[in-house]
Amino acid sequence: MRLAEIWRHPIKGHGREALDGFDIAEDGTVPGDRVWAVVHETSKQRGAEWAPAANFQRGAKLPALMAITAESGTDAVTLHHPERPDLTFDPDGDNRVFLDWIAPLLDPGRASPTGIVRSAERGYTDTDFPSISLNNVASLDALAAHMGRDLSRHRWRGNLWIDGAAPWVEFEWIGREVALGTARFRVAERITRCRATMADPETGRIDGDTLGALEGGWGHRDFGVYLTCIAPGRVETGDELVLQ
């Protein structure tokens, strides 16, 4: 079993970015992952503390966001979308240029975005603990075969993708430890999925009932698992995944 791909999402719900590797601290997340998040009119998030996903603009409510890709630099992020010109801006600065850029992709029936917040200590993960998502290529292949179509890995907004494992075996690892590179992780829990996975990440349009397929084929809406880092180290694509 080897690590096939590494991804991070600089602005939660607004673009993915590939990595070759990263250094991680104990109880850390992928550096640069979900550092920022977009708050909206009904958000209860205050300051820079962690808050549940409902406080932020996300693909579960706005599928067009799923087609955004990103590149992050020292003091700027560049966003790409097939229906918008590229935008390079500082998320810590004046957000009006971002709000203007995102406006044509929004649903007027949803709460409007009001700005961008930066996480104080860790990324705005979907969990209330620092986590990294791990997904299995074979599980995706099994779901795609069940649906009779190809499925992009980007539907799942994962951090890590492993190859060489049996389908769904990752669910059997809950509570166990795994090593990747020189770092070690504990497999914490399954990831229950939302409607964002129903959108094509190339177009941002809903085109497949992934949730119904998971329920119909396996009796749940889970895909992938969350890891917590228990020993710091370096992780790179191609690293072997070793069960402890």
* Run of H or E residues at 170: none
Confidence of residue 80 (pLDDT cuts 50, 70, 90): very high
Higher pLDDT, 55 or 47: 55
Do 145 and 86 fall within a single domain? Answer: no
Tens digit of pLDDT for each residue in 136-145? 999 999 999 9
Do 189 and 74 fall within a single domain? Answer: no
Distance CA 14, CA 233 (A): 28
Buried b (16+ CB within 10 A) or exposed e, 91-104: beeebeebbebbee
Q: What is the mean pLDDT of the chain?
A: 96
At residue 186, does pLDDT exceed 90?
yes
Cα radius of gyration rounded to whole Å, the chain = 17
* Arithmetic mean of pLDDT, 47-67: 93
Instruction: Tell me if 13 is assigned to some domain.
Output: no
Distance CA 235, CA 200 (A): 29
Helices (H) then strands (E): counts for the chain: 3, 17
Do 60 and 148 fall within a single domain? Answer: no
The pLDDT of residue 108 is 92
How many structural domains is the chain composed of? 2
* Arithmetic mean of pLDDT, 45-70: 93
Pairing of strands 132-136, 160-163: parallel
Instruction: Tell me if 72 is assigned to some domain.
Output: yes
Of the chain, the percentage scoring pLDDT greater than 70 comes to 100
Do 103 and 140 fall within a single domain? Answer: no
Domain that holds residue 154: 2-7+19-29+127-243
Higher pLDDT, 122 or 76: 76
Do 132 and 114 fall within a single domain? Answer: no
At residue 37, does pLDDT exceed 90?
yes
Structure tokens at 222: 């889970």
Confidence of residue 48 (pLDDT cuts 50, 70, 90): confident
Do 159 and 103 fall within a single domain? Answer: no
Instruction: Tell me if 161 is assigned to some domain.
Output: yes
The pLDDT of residue 120 is 84
Structure tokens at 99: 């709000």
In this prediction the pTM is 0.95
Nearest to 119 by CA among 30, 43, 26, 49: 49
At residue 45, does pLDDT exceed 90?
no
- Which CATH number characterizes residue 233's domain? 2.40.33.20
* Arithmetic mean of pLDDT, 200-207: 97
Do 109 and 131 fall within a single domain? Answer: no
Q: Which of 91, 118, 145 is the last residue of a domain?
A: 118
Q: Which of 96, 118, 140 is the last residue of a domain?
A: 118
Do 88 and 144 fall within a single domain? Answer: no
The pLDDT of residue 202 is 97
